[in-house]
Structure 1
Amino acid sequence: MESTIPILDAAFWVTTGAILALLVLSGLFSGSETALTAASRGKLRARADKGDGGAQRALDITEDNERLIGSVLLGNNLVNILAASLATALFTRVFGESGVALATLVMTLLVLVFAEVLPKTYAITNAEAAASRAAPAINLVIKVFSPVVSAVRWFVRGILRMFGVQADPDSQILAVREEIAGALYLGHSEGVVEKEDRDRILGALDLGERAVEEIMLHRSQIEMINARSTPDSILEQCLNSNHTRLPIYRDDPDNIVGVVHAKDLLRAMHKLATSDDETSKSLDSFDICDLAREPYFVPETTTLDDQMRQFLRMRSHFALVVDEYGTLEGLITLEDILEEIVGEITDEFDPDADHPIRKSDDNQFLVDGAMTIRDLNRATDWNLPDEEANTVAGLVIHEAQIIPEVDQVFSFHGFRFEVVAVKDHRITKLKIRPL
């Protein structure tokens, strides 16, 4: 009994207290690292805007993740190694040579449970709150360890450069858009986000990456007015048209001289019909170009985001798309851009109010050839590539390398494509089903 008394002296309790304190510090470092790296910067910004100083500090120190992680890892390793050394000395003093193995086992369990799993679980569960609370202490640690961390960073970058790796601490691993898109896809897969909501938000985010040529109405489908036509035929064409704005050309469809609005035409016709002159004489003197508005041309490479801003700035809904040589390629409207966000917009005047995708009798999808691949993917949750072609018909022609004939069948990208209808070397209808 007398031999055990010196073992449980003041040094024993001081060492034990030091080990426990170091375990607490280790848990603080581990939890802080997890909280600061897992916390959403958007949520931290929201907390900071409400006056949370800790959240603002967390935002500041996470600007340089390399410095943050270096400082936290340095502190964490210091306290873990020191705690293990003290525990080894303590257990060796109490149990002799067998104390080394016992100290390793006990410290492994204590560090695993109380310095790793427990604090990190809490940090993941309450990432933003934990990051806000830990930020002031971690900020102090970063300042204390800054010289050492800077030297380590310089050394690490030198080693990485030897292997051809360029480390850029200012670059973000994921762009903001990719983070949002990933969160939306994850939320949809877990049933938290509806497909329609996901598609609308992703559609809005994609506007800056897509050009007007991808969604414009091709020139072959544009309805135009010939300025040389008689007033009666022009009026009849406007009344029979499903569109309120029609381009006007003279002699050559590429020679667009203006755009007429149905309301302007009806006002002019009403004025002629109610004038004192004879109606027939008034109609003979009518010139559609007098009502035409200045045509608005845009390059085919303009992004949808820029074009929508231009529409809103100019209070216009209609633009003609030209290529680099000034040749008319198609037209685009504000509605076309909005449809990329909210989906197809139809009204009572649309000739094809039904969805361009229908289920055929043989359980295949009957698709309009002019439908864009993006719209098809959105409607079916498929992943057909749209890098080489904008429309479904264009994708088939690109992959087949020929102009297909009716009833020809192709298989690529995991889908079966059957050509149903062709008109003027254009594929107008296809049947598609996953293989």
Structure 2
Amino acid sequence: MDTAAPIFDMAFWLTGGAILLLLVMSGMFSGSETALTAASRGKLRARADKGDKGAERALAITEDNETLIGSVLLGNNLVNILATSLATALFTRLMGDSGVALATLVMTLLVLIFAEVLPKTYAITNAEVAASRVAPAITIVIRLFSPVVSAVRVFVRLILRAVGVRTDPDSNVLAVREEIAGALYLGHSEGVVEKEDRDRILGALDLGERAVEEIMRHRSQIEMIDAGLEPMVILDQCLKSPHTRLPVYVDDPDNIIGVVHSKDLLRAMHKLAVGEGGDGGEWRNFDITTILMKPYFVPETTTLDEQMRQFLRMRMHFALVVDEYGSLQGLITLEDILEEIVGEITDEFDADAEHPIRRSEDGQYLVDGAMTIRDLNRATDWSLPDDAANTIAGLVIHEAQMIPKVNQVFNFHGFRFEVTARKDNRITRLKIGQL
């Protein structure tokens, strides 16, 4: 007589409860995947250092993202399919064949809202907190499903290999450096990170990728002292120079025998001129080779990061750069490397020196030909390529395939380059503007 009673029996309520439990598990899997992939490893490390065991586990399981995602997806699909199957059986029992369509509609809405959008929104908003909380449970899931996930990974790789796609299981999808650089560029575009801060951090990150030859002062610009000159001439040259350390050579500029520090020179000559037992004229016979520091030579292929470490370890600030044949190519100082991080460093001796880049009246830039492409890009936010040449003059010569004459104009990479000054075969000044 009562037909509804057999339908709403214990099996009905158990099935309904199982569906709700499976939806909760689906939401946990979805939120866990989002939290563990979106969480910053740097912030997780900070939490772990403060004693957060959940953050420590989250760091451990995110080391292998492929296994993590595979296990979470396997668990998520299992509970979703099982919940949908139970709901279909339940609605079919209640409404007959029409219950299949209703079960599909209801489960789609429930899964979308409570198992996808809601947990993922929370996970994105509180990524590190959520990752720390779910890490212990996900660790157990990974251990349970790892054999199945490993088998699936092998099967997938075999399929990809069959169609000509190679996969590297040990490769990182996104290297740390690129991740930091991308975050800095994004922060700058959104106005959160200042350009100067972005350039300093990127400059520090690039030290390991750049060689000494890219920023060294070329040999044509090195100020040297001839050891055969008269002591007064040597003293006058040192006093007029803005540099405190100068290479010293004999006969040939390639034959460098040492480096003189201006303080050592002044101290020695002062001792000869007014020192005890001196007659005031002994400085005329002064021999500069007696106070020279041993020259420090480095290969031009040394990375800036390694060279800075060498400078700090040896407590030196000055090195001469040679090529593979031992020929002098230039010099580099600790200040040159630091300028790649903090920008141009000036003091009271070079504050009035002409800046390598300045704005002309027509809105274009007047640029020193020896200015590096990287420095110009940093100053203007341009993106001129620096793979074929280090300096602006070198880029123009490379693109023109000739040594341009004064007033010649070239258009490439979306810019207009006009040669405004040249000395011998060197381009010393250019006017550059965007097309």
Does the alignment reach a TM-score above 0.5? yes
Q: How far apart are the structure 2 equivalents of 1:36 and 1:314? A: 44
Residue 399 of structure 2 corresponds to which residue in structure 1?
399
Offset from partner CA, 1:225-274 (integer Å, 9 cap, x none): 00110011111111111111110000000000111000001101111110
Contact 2:216-2:336 within 8 A present in 1 as well:
yes
For 1:74 and 1:209, the matched residues in 2 are separated by 40
Distance apart, 1:352 and its partner CA: 5.2
Per-residue deviation, residues 111-143 of structure 1 (Å, max 9, x unmatched): 011001111111111111111111111111111
Alignment of 1:345-360 (within 5 A): 345-350=345-350, 353-360=353-360
2:125 is the alignment partner of 1:112: no
Deviation at 1:16, TM superposition (A): 1.1
Alpha-carbon distance in structure 2 between the residues aligned to 1:308 and 1:99: 73
Partner of 1:130: 130
Letter of the 2:49 partner, please give it. Answer: D
Give the match for residue 303 of structure 2. 303
Which residue does the alignment assign to 1:94? 94
- The 8 Å contact of residues 211 and 303 in structure 2, kept in 1 or not, is answered as yes
Question: Which whole-Å CA distance do the structure 2 matches of 1:12 and 1:413 have between them?
Answer: 71
SS at 2:417 equivalent = strand
Measure how far apart 1:355 and its partner are. 3.1
> Quick check: 2:232–2:284 contact (8 Å CA) kept in 1?
no
Matches within 5 A, 1:185-334: 185-275=185-275, 276-280=277-281, 282-334=282-334
Deviation at 1:354, TM superposition (A): 4.6
* Alignment check: 8 A CA contact 2:92 2:98 kept: yes
**CA distance in structure 2 between the partners assigned to 1:409 and 1:292 by the alignment:** 47
Is the 1:318–1:334 contact (alpha carbons within 8 Å) kept by the matching residues of 2? Answer: yes
Structure 2 residue identity aligned to 1:279: G
User: How far apart, CA to CA, are the structure 2 residues paired with 1:149 and 1:235?
Assistant: 76
State the AA in 2 paired with 1:138.
Answer: I
Point out the more displaced range, 40-49 or 394-403.
40-49
Map 1:55-74 → 2, pairs under 5 A? 55-74=55-74
User: TM-score by structure 2 length?
Assistant: 0.97
Q: Which amino acid aligns with 1:84?
A: T
| Distance in 1 of aligned mates of 2:353 and 2:14 | 82
Runs of 5+ unmatched residues, structure 2:
none
Q: Distance in 2 between matches of 1:235 and 1:245?
A: 13
Alpha-carbon distance in 2 for matches of 1:51, 1:164: 47
8 Å CA contact retained: 1:347, 1:353 = no
Q: Which moved more, 1:265-274 or 1:156-165?
A: 156-165
The CA distance in 1 between the partners of 2:207 and 2:67, in whole Å, is: 35
2:144 equivalent in structure 1:
144
Shift of 1:188: 0.8
2: CA distance, partners of 1:177 / 1:27: 33
| 1:351 CA displacement | 6.7
Letter of the 1:121 partner, please give it: T
3-state secondary structure, aligned to 1:366: strand
**Residue 51 (structure 1) aligns with:** 51
Letter in 2 for 1:294: K
Q: Note if contact 1:346-1:353 (Cα within 8 Å) is conserved in structure 2.
A: no
1:160: Cα distance to partner? Answer: 1.7
* Cα distance in structure 2, aligned partners of 1:260 and 1:416: 43
Structure 1 distance, partners of 2:21, 2:354, is 70
The separation in 1 between residues aligned to 2:187 and 2:361, in whole angstroms, is 34
Q: Partners in 2 of 1:66 and 1:240 — Cα distance?
A: 64
Name the CA distance, whole Å, in 2 between partners of 1:156 and 1:352: 65
Residue type of the alignment partner of 1:303: T
Shift of 1:357: 1.4
Does the aligned pair in 2 maintain the 1:242–1:351 contact within 8 Å? no
Matches of 1:351 and 1:34 in 2, distance apart?
53
Other-structure match for 1:415 = 415
Contact 1:298 1:320 in 2 (8 A): yes
State the distance in 1 between where 2:374 and 2:71 align: 46
Q: Which residue of 1 aligns with 2:342?
A: 342
The CA deviation at 1:37 is 1.1
Are 1:77 and 2:77 an aligned pair? yes
Q: Which amino acid aligns with 1:278?
A: D
1:371: Cα distance to partner? 0.5
Map Cα deviations across residues 135-161 of structure 1 (whole Å, 9 max, x no partner): 111111111112222221221121122
Counterpart amino acid of residue 192 in structure 1 = V
Q: Does the 8 Å CA contact 2:7/2:93 hold for their aligned counterparts?
A: yes
Conserved? CA contact 2:23–2:115, under 8 Å: yes
Partner of 1:381: 381
Q: Give the fraction of aligned pairs with identical amino acids, expressed as a percent.
A: 79
Q: Which moved more, 1:350-359 or 1:54-63?
A: 350-359
Contact conserved, 1:397 with 1:403, CA < 8 A, in 2? yes
Q: TM-score, normalised by structure 1?
A: 0.97
Q: Secondary structure at the match of 1:6?
A: helix
